[in-house]
Chains A and B, each alone.
Chain A
Amino acid sequence: MLKELWNDAAGGFHPASAPDFLPEAALKEVQLRRLRAVVERAYDNVALFHDRLRERDLTPAAIQSLEDIRHLPFTVKADLRDTYPFGLFASPMSEVVRLHASSGTTGKPIVVAYTREDIEVWSEVMARTLACCSLHRGDIVQNAFGYGLFTGGLGAHYGAEALGATVIPISGGNTERQIMVIRDFGVSALFSTPSYFTHLVERASELGIDLRELPLRVGVFGAEPWSDGMRSHIEAAAGISAFDIYGLSEIIGPGVASECPEHHGLHVFEDHFYPEIIDPETGEPLPDGEEGELVLTTLSKRAMPMIRYRTRDITAIIPERCGCGRSLRRIQRIGRRSDDMIIIRGVNIFPSQVEAALLAVEGTLPHYRIILSREQGLDQMTVEVEVTPEVLSDQVRVIEDMRERIAQAIERILGIRVGLRLVEPHSIERSQGKAKRVIDQRGD
């Protein structure tokens, strides 16, 4: 690959992006070839997968077409926990060059492994992700994803370097130093969780620094669901274009799918990660366009192949071709996870619905959290909302009016009346990684 030939203009073509533009037939040919190889590899090297195929009287020879993938058993998160720490590895440790782990909220963490080839694929898909987000050589990139066991920091780091950008490996936390670096180093792109960036924008404003006047032009956000309203807020407050990226440790980390400048769905790097949408109740595949649970198969992973991994993320495949020219299919932005759902008094609630109500009333998204408790056997839900300088008044009546408007908006969207408590700024803990929006104190 001749670096001299790279077109480094903004939004220009980066050679790593070539597979994004494969004709459909060529893409399917690559997918089938890789699918057959990865199934064979898992069958030969992972006892759990081998046994599951044998139980169904299947062998890797059953895969004659991409559609045959539906005959294969699903892999779920519990499989990773049950085989903790190394039970799903398909490579001997002598070929594994990296381990990451994600802290589960309950029980043991899950461990994921990479061979040298896996790291190269990861760097490639992250470079393609960042090219998709309009980044290029010459960009100064502040990587505020956490470095360490979490895949976000190192995944984004390798991708940005592969792209040829200048990487500042600042990791998460120390918000004031982050702001100083953005300003002093002329940072043009920043990576973080959307909730941490919201916090950063708020802190910059408190310090009297206007991010809109700085060279920062792109934000790459992932690791948690965020709404379009939050996007508008972030874009206006920081004067940037905000891109949503998607990934999960079990598959590779960040780099599974990315928005392009059309900002309409996320292109799945499906030459490496084969997407399916299934009915979460029956497990049956759903046609493109229908909403269901995203299932991913790693087509080229060596150390830890994942066959039909159930992500718990709810989305749909967008069947139309994208205006950006990429032939990769897109998934809708993920607004909710099937395990994000709160059931309270028989009503299904997603935190994103509470977010929508807050945005509708305040115009911007305040920090909030949802507390679930049980009083005399009855489930209670209380939303705590921080008072921002924008809505603060010297008059009690004005604040009580706003409180009532929020309560009504939440009731309209959820269909039930919930408790609402206004709290002081900064009283809700800021996460440096994924925001924890729901505190369940019901104790079962």
Chain B
Amino acid sequence: MKLNQLSLFLENRPGRLIEPTRLLAAEGINVMTLCLADTAEFGILRLIVQNPTRAAEVLNAAGWAVNLTEVVAVEVPDQPGGLAEVLGVFEQAGLNVEYVYAFTLRREDRAILVFRFQEPDQAITALQASGHQVLDAERLEALVG
């Protein structure tokens, strides 16, 4: 039920973001969403892509340091209160969110929230117990593709 997120280390200077994205484009790998955490010196680019294993291979072969992390993706209605409701579940379960980012789908009025936890399995259990739709790679592919 977890998704594989790619992380890349980038120096914080002009032009660094474009190289990995060009590599993925050349391989025909679609980026579904991304999130960039930045400091004064460097950034960490986190990506959700169609084929994370292939994307990691491509980036590795080009000499990038790539890290794969398991994240939890939840489907919510794209309307006020959607995020707050899910966060309520984690508060109840006493789970700490390391970071979160979100994207909406073109065709449906749905939003996808991507969460990073130290204990993703506990978060999934809590979400399923409260009736939330946790996405696996296949379901995400179906929604986006």
Binding site for B on A (CB under 8 A): 206-208, 387-389, 392-396, 399-400, 421-427
Contacts and interface: CB of A to CB of B under 8 A. Distances in A.
21 contacts: A206-B60, A206-B61, A387-B65, A388-B65, A389-B60, A389-B65, A392-B9, A392-B65, A393-B44, A394-B116, A395-B44, A396-B39, A396-B44, A400-B39, A421-B41, A422-B9, A423-B11, A424-B11, A424-B65, A425-B9, A426-B63
B41 A389 contact: no
B67 interface: yes
Contact of B7 (A207, A393, A424, A426): A393
A301 to B, nearest CB: 44
B63 A206 contact: yes
A394 B61 contact: no
B64 interface: yes
A424 B10 contact: yes
The size bracket of the interface on B is 20 to 34
Contacts of A400: 39
B44 A389 contact: no
Interface in B54-88: 57, 60-61, 63-67, 69
B50 interface: no
A312 B98 CA distance: 53
Contacts of B116: 394-395
A207 B67 CA distance: 16
Nearest to B43: A396
A394 B116 CA distance: 9
Nearest to B7: A394
Given A389-B65, A392-B65, A393-B67, A399 B42 contact: yes
B46 A425 contact: no
Contacts of B65: 387-389, 392, 424-425
Interface string B23-48: 00000000000000101011010100
B64 A425 contact: yes
Contacts of B7: 392-394
Given A206-B61, A392-B65, A394-B46, A424 B37 contact: no
B33 to A, nearest CB: 14
A392 B37 contact: no
Nearest to A425: B65
B44 A399 contact: yes
B139 interface: no
Nearest to A202: B63
A425 B42 CA distance: 13
A392 B37 CA distance: 14
Contacts of B22: none
Interface string B84-112: 00000000000000110000000000000
A394 B66 contact: no
Given A389-B65, A389-B66, A396-B39, A424 B9 contact: yes
A129 to B, nearest CB: 34
Nearest to B118: A395
B101 to A, nearest CB: 12
A395 B67 CA distance: 11
Contact of B66 (A392, A396, A399): A392
A387 B9 contact: yes
A421 to B, nearest CB: 7
- Of A400, A421, A424, A425, the most chain B CB neighbours within 10 A belong to A424
B13 to A, nearest CB: 10
A395 B37 CA distance: 8
A394 B41 contact: no
Nearest to A427: B11
Contacts of B98: 395
B95 to A, nearest CB: 16
A387 B67 CA distance: 11
Contacts of A427: 11
Nearest to A423: B11
A394 to B, nearest CB: 4
B48 to A, nearest CB: 12
Nearest to B56: A389
A424 B44 contact: no
Given A207-B61, A400-B39, A394 B11 contact: no
A422 B42 contact: yes
- Of B7, B65, B98, B116, the most chain A CB neighbours within 10 A belong to B65
A149 B9 CA distance: 39
Contacts of B69: 394
A92 B61 CA distance: 53
Contacts of A207: 61
B14 to A, nearest CB: 14
